[in-house]
Amino acid sequence: MPKLRIIPIILLKNGRVVQSKNFNRHQVLGTPSVIVGRLSNWCADEVIYLDISRDSQYDLNRDDLNFKNNNSILSIIKEVSENCFMPFTVGGGIKTIQDIEDRLAAGADKVSINSQAISDPKYISECARIFGSQCIVVSMDVKKISQSCWEVYANYGKDSTNHSPTELAVKYQEHGAGEILLNSIDKDGAGTGYDLPLVKSVVDAVSIPVIAQGGVGKWEHFQECIDFAKPSAVAAANIFQYTENSYFNANEYLYENSYDVRKPTLNTIIETAEN
């Protein structure tokens, strides 16, 4: 059976890598190319790039920004893929078949679809038919409503949908989604651990892999989530940006605590025919 995956998520906003809190506060951390160099040394299981640039950003009399951003997501994918020998998923603003084709052609391995899946679940079936389910990650942004009630929000956590995450997850699975990326809006950037009951409810509702995201402030939070909810993958964004070799350290922490993760490694040079 596959190893439990640990996935760093890189958030991009208008071509910059950012840190996020509650889906609305974003702090710029640097340019993607700086992060790329670090990534290739991490030997991560995979990486997810989410472009969270919002339409509202384009209303700041900055047509150049809008244009630049549209261009840059594809050029970022190209740049990343050249030195990234692990799977990488790209999400954000994907609405058409062409959007996916463009991203895959630029070097992405999988795409993550969010709002378009809510407004048109058949889009997922179409994508799965053309690209295969394994290529289609469907992401959900979820807000806690009460003790045992959650709701999925659309458009970067802005719009209420009246759908529960388990209901949508099952629907997405039926339409051919390959994986569910589950984000907690409340836990985003909080550093207080995952929304454990939420993760568990979705993991239990579907048979496809679920990637838990949102809330990791220390490595123990991974452990907590794995023990309680048993997701196929645990993801985190902000925490991986703080220190050098943070991914290696997270990997090592879980490995040494006997979790079934890949043996932690750092990049080594392979002797090729030429040298």
Partner 1 sequence: MSKIGIINYGSGNFKSVCNALNHLNISWAEITSNDHFSKVSHIILPGVGTYRDCMERLEKMDIIDILKNAIKSDKKYFLGICVGMQVLTKYGTEFGKHEGLGVINGKTGIINKNKKKKNTIPHIGWTEVTFKKNSKIYQGIENNSSFYFLHSYRVQTTNTEIISGTVDYGDEIIASLESKKIYGVQFHPEKSQMNGLRLLNNFSNL
Report the interface residues with partner 1, using CB under 8 A: 1-3, 5, 43, 45-46, 81-87, 104-110, 129-135, 178-179, 207-209, 232-233, 262-263, 265, 267-268, 270, 272-275
> Positive or negative, the Cα torsion across 159, 162, 166, 172?
negative
CA atoms within 13 A on the CB side of 91: 28
Answer yes or no: are the C-beta atoms of 189 and 222 closer than 8 Å. no
Smallest distance from partner 1 to CB 225, Å: 17
Question: Which CB, 154 or 254, lies closer to partner 1?
Answer: 254
For helices 32-42 and 63-82, the axis angle rounded to 10 degrees is: 20
Smallest distance from partner 1 to CB 198, Å: 19
Question: Which CB, 148 or 272, lies closer to partner 1?
Answer: 272
Question: Which CB, 2 or 30, lies closer to partner 1?
Answer: 2
> Which tokens sit at 20?
């996020």
Cα(118)–Cα(182) distance, integer angstroms: 14
Smallest distance from partner 1 to CB 83, Å: 7
Question: Which CB, 59 or 274, lies closer to partner 1?
Answer: 274
Smallest distance from partner 1 to CB 134, Å: 4
Answer yes or no: are the C-beta atoms of 196 and 228 closer than 8 Å. yes
Cα(92)–Cα(90) distance, integer angstroms: 7
Question: Which CB, 147 or 207, lies closer to partner 1?
Answer: 207
Answer yes or no: are the C-beta atoms of 190 and 215 closer than 8 Å. yes
Smallest distance from partner 1 to CB 27, Å: 30
> Which tokens sit at 169?
């997850």
Smallest distance from partner 1 to CB 12, Å: 20
Smallest distance from partner 1 to CB 248, Å: 13
CA atoms within 13 A on the CB side of 172: 35
Alpha helices, H only, the chain:
32-42, 63-82, 97-106, 115-119, 122-131, 165-174, 196-205, 219-229, 239-242, 246-256
Smallest distance from partner 1 to CB 138, Å: 13
Cα(74)–Cα(25) distance, integer angstroms: 25
Question: Which CB, 8 or 189, lies closer to partner 1?
Answer: 8
Element (H, E) at 152: strand 149-154
Q: Is 18 in a helix, a strand, or coil?
A: strand
Question: Which CB, 110 or 221, lies closer to partner 1?
Answer: 110
Question: Which CB, 137 or 185, lies closer to partner 1?
Answer: 137
Cα(218)–Cα(238) distance, integer angstroms: 11
